[in-house]
Amino acid sequence: MLSSNVIATICLIYVGILFAVAGLAERRARQGKIGFLQSPLIYTLSISVYCTAWTFYGSVGSAALNGFEFLTIYLGPTIVFVGWWWFLRKLVRIGRTQRITSIADLISSRYGKSNTLGVIVTLLAIFGSTPYIALQLQSLTLSFAVFTEGSNSETSPTITALFIAAGLALFTILFGTRNLDANERHHGVVTAIALEAIVKLIALISVGIFVVWGVSGGPSNTLVLMETRLPLAEDIFAPRWVTLTFLSATAIICLPRMFQVIVVENSAEKHLATASWAFPLYLLLMCIFVMPIAATGLNILPEGANPDLFVLTIPLAENRITLAALAFLGGFSSATSMVIVAAIALSTMASNHIVLPLWLYAVKKRNPESDDVRTVLLRSRRISIACIIGFGYLYFILTGGTSALASIGLIAFLGVSQVLPALIGALFWRNATRKGAIWGISTGFLIWAYTSFLPSFGGDFILNQNILQNGPYDISFLRPQALFGITIIDALTHAVFWSIFLNTIVFVVISLLTTPSPLERLQAQKFINVYGQNSNFRSVGDGVTPDDLFLLAQRILGRNDANLLFTQFSKKQGRQGLPEINIELMETLESKFAGSVGAATAHSMITQAVGNQSITVEDLIAVADETVQGIEYSTRLEEQSKKLTKSGDELRIVNNKLTKLSTQKDDFLSQVSHELRTPMTSIRSFSEILQSDKTLDKKQLQYFSTIINDESQRLTRLLDEILDLSFLESGQVKLNLSDVNLSTVLQTALQSTQQAVLNANAKINVNIDWVENTLNTDVDRLSQVFINLITNAVKYNNKEQPELQISGKKTDGNLNLIFEDNGPGIPKSEQPIIFEKFTKLSNATSTSGVGLGLAISQEIMKNLGGALTCLDSEDGAKFLVTIPIT
Which positions touch another protein (CB under 8 A)? 68, 71, 75, 78-83, 85-86, 223, 226-227, 230, 232-237, 241-242, 245, 270, 273-274, 276-277, 280-281, 284, 288, 291
Residue 392 and residue 133 in contact, taking contact as beta carbons nearer than 8 Å: yes
The closest alpha carbon to 173, from 8, 380, 458, belongs to: 380
Rounded distance between C-alpha atoms, residue 355 and residue 346, angstroms: 12
The closest alpha carbon to 885, from 746, 806, 776, 761, belongs to: 776
Q: Which is nearer to another protein, 239 or 851 (CB)?
A: 239
In sequence order, the 6+-apart residues with CB closer than 8 A to the CB of 384 are 346, 347, 350, 351, 355
Which sign does the torsion angle of CA 584, 588, 589, 591 carry?
Answer: positive
Side-chain half-sphere CA neighbours of 138 within 13 A: 27
Work out the widest C-alpha separation in the chain, in whole angstroms. 171
Q: Which is nearer to another protein, 7 or 488 (CB)?
A: 488
Least spacing, CB of residue 458 vs another protein, in Å: 31
Q: Which is nearer to another protein, 289 or 498 (CB)?
A: 289
Q: Which is nearer to another protein, 223 or 867 (CB)?
A: 223
Q: Which is nearer to another protein, 241 or 393 (CB)?
A: 241
Plot region of 284 (φ>0 → left; ψ -120 to 50 → alpha; else → beta): alpha
Least spacing, CB of residue 7 vs another protein, in Å: 34
Least spacing, CB of residue 374 vs another protein, in Å: 38
Residue 294 and residue 230 in contact, taking contact as beta carbons nearer than 8 Å: yes
Least spacing, CB of residue 267 vs another protein, in Å: 15
Rounded distance between C-alpha atoms, residue 355 and residue 343, angstroms: 15
CA 865 to chain centre: 63
The closest alpha carbon to 192, from 341, 324, 12, belongs to: 341
Q: Which is nearer to another protein, 81 or 132 (CB)?
A: 81
Residue ranges of alpha helices (H) inside 514-625 are: 518-528, 546-557, 559-573, 583-597, 599-610, 617-623
Rounded distance between C-alpha atoms, residue 344 and residue 256, angstroms: 9
Q: Which is nearer to another protein, 173 or 286 (CB)?
A: 286
Least spacing, CB of residue 498 vs another protein, in Å: 20
Least spacing, CB of residue 220 vs another protein, in Å: 10
Give residue 871's identity as a one-letter amino acid code: L
Rounded distance between C-alpha atoms, residue 499 and residue 441, angstroms: 9
Rounded distance between C-alpha atoms, residue 268 and residue 162, angstroms: 38
Least spacing, CB of residue 462 vs another protein, in Å: 34
Q: Distance from first CA to last CA of the chain, Å, rounded?
A: 129
Q: What angle do CA 75, 77, 80 make, to 5 degrees?
A: 110
Q: Which is nearer to another protein, 280 or 392 (CB)?
A: 280
Residue ranges of alpha helices (H) inside 598-625 are: 599-610, 617-623
Q: What phi, psi does 171 have (nearest 5°)?
A: -60, -45
Q: Which residues of 38-60 are buried (b: 16+ CB within 10 A; e: fewer)?
A: bbbebbbbbbbbbbbbbbbbbbb
Q: Which is nearer to another protein, 17 or 233 (CB)?
A: 233
Sheet containing strand 867-871, strands side by side = 763-767, 803-811, 814-821, 878-884, 867-871
Q: Which is nearer to another protein, 65 or 844 (CB)?
A: 65
Give residue 478's identity as a one-letter amino acid code: L
Rounded distance between C-alpha atoms, residue 148 and residue 171, angstroms: 25
Least spacing, CB of residue 287 vs another protein, in Å: 8
Question: β-strands 463-464, 460-461: how paired?
Answer: antiparallel
Q: Which is nearer to another protein, 236 or 321 (CB)?
A: 236
Least spacing, CB of residue 327 vs another protein, in Å: 23
Give residue 793's identity as a one-letter amino acid code: A
Q: Which is nearer to another protein, 428 or 770 (CB)?
A: 428
Rounded distance between C-alpha atoms, residue 558 and residue 564, angstroms: 10
Q: What's the count of helices (H) and strands (E) in the chain, helices before strands?
A: 36, 9
Residue 815 and residue 775 in contact, taking contact as beta carbons nearer than 8 Å: yes
Side-chain half-sphere CA neighbours of 848 within 13 A: 9
Least spacing, CB of residue 224 vs another protein, in Å: 9
Q: Which is nearer to another protein, 86 or 361 (CB)?
A: 86
Q: Which is nearer to another protein, 6 or 284 (CB)?
A: 284
Q: What is the DSSP letter of 213?
A: I
Give residue 423's identity as a one-letter amino acid code: L
Least spacing, CB of residue 535 vs another protein, in Å: 22
Q: Which is nearer to another protein, 165 or 295 (CB)?
A: 295
Least spacing, CB of residue 417 vs another protein, in Å: 16
Rounded distance between C-alpha atoms, residue 145 and residue 437, angstroms: 45
Residue 139 and residue 54 in contact, taking contact as beta carbons nearer than 8 Å: yes
Written as one string, the DSSP assignment of 248-295 is HHHHHHHSHHHHIIIIIT---THHHHHHHHHHHHHHHHHHHTHHHHHH
Least spacing, CB of residue 71 vs another protein, in Å: 6
Residue 308 and residue 406 in contact, taking contact as beta carbons nearer than 8 Å: yes
Residue ranges of alpha helices (H) inside 149-210 are: 157-176, 187-209
The residues that bridge with 810 in the sheet, in sequence order, are: 815
Least spacing, CB of residue 490 vs another protein, in Å: 16
Q: Which is nearer to another protein, 13 or 284 (CB)?
A: 284
Q: Which is nearer to another protein, 427 or 683 (CB)?
A: 427
Least spacing, CB of residue 275 vs another protein, in Å: 9
Q: Which is nearer to another protein, 99 or 240 (CB)?
A: 240
Which sign does the torsion angle of CA 190, 192, 196, 202 carry?
Answer: positive
Least spacing, CB of residue 536 vs another protein, in Å: 24
Least spacing, CB of residue 61 vs another protein, in Å: 19
> Is residue 871 helix, strand or coil?
strand
Least spacing, CB of residue 75 vs another protein, in Å: 5
